[in-house]
Amino acid sequence: MKQKEITQMSVSEINEKLSEEKATLVKLELNHSVSPIENPLKIRGSRRTIARMITELRKREIESTKN
């Protein structure tokens, strides 16, 4: 998921997607530990998407406290 898509989402949508993405990451890591998955770069992409979402939530939190 790109940053542009994340910035267009509402806070509740970001929280929902964040929980889904975290569950996906756990599943990917578990599957990879049992047997190597076909594309291990999916794990990196998932981690980065989670980081983007958390960053956007934090940015919005800071903006709301400034006003």
Domains in the chain with CATH codes: 3-66 (1.10.287)
| The token pair that represents 57 in the structure block | 């939530």
DSSP 62: H
What is the structure's pLDDT at 67? Answer: 75
Instruction: Give per-residue pLDDT as tens, 53-63.
Output: 999 999 999 99
- In angstroms, the CA 31 to CA 26 distance is 9
What is the structure's pLDDT at 51? Answer: 97
Q: Which residues contact 27 (CB under 8 A, 6 or more apart)?
A: none
